[in-house]
Amino acid sequence: MDMQLQQDLTGQVALVTGSGSGIGKDIAQTFARAGAAVGIADINKEAAQQTVNLIEAAGGKALAIEMDVTSESAVNKGVNELVKHFGSIDILVSNAGVQIIAPIDKMDFKDWQKMLAIHLDGAFLTTKAALKHMYDSPKVGTVIYMGSVHSHDASLYKAPYVTAKHGLLGLCRVLAKEGAEHNVRSHVICPGFVKTPLVEKQIPEQAKEKGITEEEVVNDIMLVNTVDKEFTKVSDIAQLALFLAAFPTNVFTGQSIVASHGWFMN
C-alpha cells in the first residue's frame, strides 16, 4: 500500500526560535494550523507574544518564550518552560538569525563572534536542551535547522554567515547519526533569498558597499542565479518545514533540502 503523506501535527509540541517575525513566525503559524502546540521563542518577548496572539486568535495553542539563543541558561529555561506548559518537545526549528554584511578585511571580530554565536551556538544549545527531553520520549523527535543556499555556496561580504550556515550541515549530520537510536531525526532547510526584513535590510547595504542601485542588487546579485528571478516565499519554507516535521519515516534524516528557485542545485 502506498504511504499517504501527512500534514497533521496534532499532539505534537514544537519550539521555533526567532519566531517573532519573518520565516520563524510563518513556520510557527503553519505548525499551529496543523495542530501543534507551539513555543514562540524570540529575544523580543513582545514580538513573540504578538505571534502567540495571532495563533490563539485562529484557535491554536502557543506560548511566548523570551530566549537569547546564545545563553545556555536562557535556552534551558525556555525549553523547560515549554515542556512544563505543554508536556513535551517533539519538534525543534532552530531559526534564530541575523545578518551583518562586510568584506573579510573590514569585518569586526565582534561581529564575526556575534554571527557565529547566534547561528551556530544557538543551534547547538537549543538542540542539546531539546534532546534531553526527546531522547526520553517514545515519540519521534524532529530537529530542523534553518540553513541557506549559503550552507552550500558562498557570496561576497558574508564570511561569518556562510561559515555558520556551512556549520549547520555538520551539526545536522552528526545528530542524524547520534539521534537515530533515540528515534530523533534532523534536517537542514536551505532557502534562497526570502524577502524578509533581514533580506530587505541587505539590499541598501549591498548597494552602498558596491556602489550600485538597489535594483541591480536584486537582479544582478541576489536573484542572478535563479531560473526565474523570483524570491523564495516565506510560505514555501513554512510548508517545507511542515512536510519534514510531519513526514512519517526517517528517510530524509541528515539531509539538506534546497529551496531556491534553482539558484543552487544539488
Q: What is the pLDDT along the chain (266 residues), one digit of tens a residue?
A: 344 456 899 999 999 999 999 999 999 999 999 999 999 999 999 999 999 999 999 999 999 999 999 999 999 999 999 999 999 999 999 999 998 989 999 999 999 999 999 999 999 999 999 999 999 999 999 999 999 999 999 988 899 999 999 999 999 999 999 999 999 999 999 999 888 777 888 899 889 888 999 999 999 988 998 999 989 999 999 999 999 999 999 999 999 999 988 988 87
Helices 22-33 and 234-246: crossing angle in degrees, nearest 10, is 50
Distance CA(61)–CA(28), nearest Å, equals: 10
pLDDT value, residue 102: 93
Catalytic-labelled residue, pool 135, 145, 157, 161: 161
**The C-alpha cell that represents 39 in the structure block:** 513555543
Query: Measuring CA to CA, how many Å separate 177 from each of 33, 99, 129, 170?
Result: 31, 30, 18, 11
- CB count in 10 Å sphere of residue 241: 28
Q: Which long-range contacts (C-beta less than 8 Å, at least 24 apart) are formed by 73-77?
A: 75/122, 75/125, 75/126, 75/129, 76/129
Distance CA(218)–CA(203), nearest Å, equals: 7
Query: Measuring CA to CA, how many Å separate 124 from each of 88, 114, 130, 252?
Result: 19, 15, 10, 20
pLDDT value, residue 198: 72
pLDDT value, residue 143: 99
Name the amino acid, one letter, at 25: K
pLDDT value, residue 2: 42
Measure the CA angle with vertex 187, ends 182 and 192; round to 5°.
170
Q: Is 157 a catalytic residue?
A: no
HSE-up (13 A, CA, CB side) for residue 147: 32
Distance CA(64)–CA(87), nearest Å, equals: 15
The candidate with the shortest Cα–Cα distance to 146, out of 128, 120, 178, is 120
Distance CA(210)–CA(190), nearest Å, equals: 26
